[in-house]
Amino acid sequence: MKQSLTYYITLFVIKLKGIKKDFSKAPIDFKKIRKEDVHYPKGRFFKQNKIRNFKVLDSLITEIGLNQNSDKLLIFIHGGAFISGPAQHHWDSLKKIAKQTNYKIWMCDYPKSPENKISKISENIDSIYNVALKKFLPNKISFIGDSVGATLIVSLIQRLIVKDRKLPEKIILITPVMDASMSNPEIEKVDNIDPMLSKIGVLSAKKMCAENNDLKNVMISPLFGNFDKFPHTILFLAENDIFYPDQKLAVKKIINARINLELIEGENMPHIWPFLPVMKEAKESLNEIIEILKSSGQRGISPLSLSQNRT
């Protein structure tokens, strides 16, 4: 499929900013990467539509919404390799979602590694959902997350199912990290074409977060967990993403679990492509996410008919 001009502009900007270079170092320079963090968004929109800030354990929650009385909640778990975030592209995506849907949105700025390990981070995510359940019905709650944010959502759902807890209505997973060990040999091939990430730096970040250096613990590598009984799941993959080989393995497990799944595979797309600025393909995908959020009930594709790519 032919890509847009803005696709190539975006790749050029990614190269110009040296993102792959930053993710090609071990140990990864997390302090440098954190310079792009935006903990308190600026601008008129956020000033007018921020409902409140509050803490859940060590997480800062920013609640955004055009309708303060909405009974629908979108919990936004941002990515950032467990070491950074949220970044400006997360807030920009949140802003567009808030403008076009009736959701309240919680941006969850959770504790990061290396200061915190995956068990502490996961405890925060669990507590955020527990707080949400006190204010919203589970079928009125949805999750969205990119990269390790999606990882945290998947591992949360796995824990909820084990504990027989109530599940959210739907989860939207954008290029999730499914296996922190990055031991899949197919990753080496994709590393050569990934414009954004490199195995060396990503693996360094995961080791900073792993508990007792256990990179296959399901909290940080949900690929090794169970996908039975998952809620409606929308999964965005990216072909030119070093996590793509493990995402494909996860898709097989999800299909075998026969859950309600929508699969959107980005041909030639990089990591977190629906959240990237400028790019036409990203704008189209974010619009699709908004339509998914606006739709009521289950609009999933049969797990047995997921053969085509959609960008």
7-52 pLDDT, tens digit each: 999 999 999 999 999 999 999 999 999 999 999 999 999 999 999 9
Q: Is 120 inside any structural domain?
A: yes
> Residue 306 has what pLDDT?
36
Q: Is 302 inside any structural domain?
A: no
Q: What pLDDT digit, counting tens, does each position of 237-266 carry?
A: 999 999 999 999 999 999 999 999 999 999
Question: What's at 20, amino acid-wise?
Answer: K
* Tokens encoding 282: 């990203």
> Residue 298 has what pLDDT?
46
In this predicted structure, the answer to whether residue 310 has a pLDDT above a threshold of 90 is no
Can you tell me the distance from the alpha carbon of 284 to that of 159, in angstroms, rounded to the nearest whole number? 33
Task: List Cβ<8 Å contacts ≥24 apart for 7-10.
Answer: 7/268, 7/279, 7/280, 7/281, 9/278, 9/279, 10/276, 10/277, 10/278, 10/279, 10/282
Tell me the C-alpha to C-alpha distance, in Å, between residue 247 and each of 21, 105, 126, 221: 23, 26, 23, 11
> Residue 300 has what pLDDT?
44
Q: By residue range, what is the domain housing residue 93?
A: 5-295
Q: Is 301 inside any structural domain?
A: no
Number of domains in the chain: 1
Q: What sign does the CA torsion over 259, 264, 267, 273 have?
A: negative
Q: What pLDDT digit, counting tens, does each position of 93-135 carry?
A: 999 999 999 999 999 999 999 999 999 999 999 999 999 999 9
Can you tell me the distance from the alpha carbon of 246 to that of 72, in angstroms, rounded to the nearest whole number? 32
Minimal CA–CA distance to 75: which of 106, 109, 110, 96?
106
> Residue 297 has what pLDDT?
52
- The CATH number for 209's domain is 3.40.50.1820
Compute the C-alpha angle 163/216/126, nearest 5°: 35
pTM for the predicted model, two decimal places: 0.94
Instruction: Write down the residue that tokens 């289950």 correspond to.
Output: 298
Can you tell me the distance from the alpha carbon of 32 to that of 19, in angstroms, rounded to the nearest whole number? 11
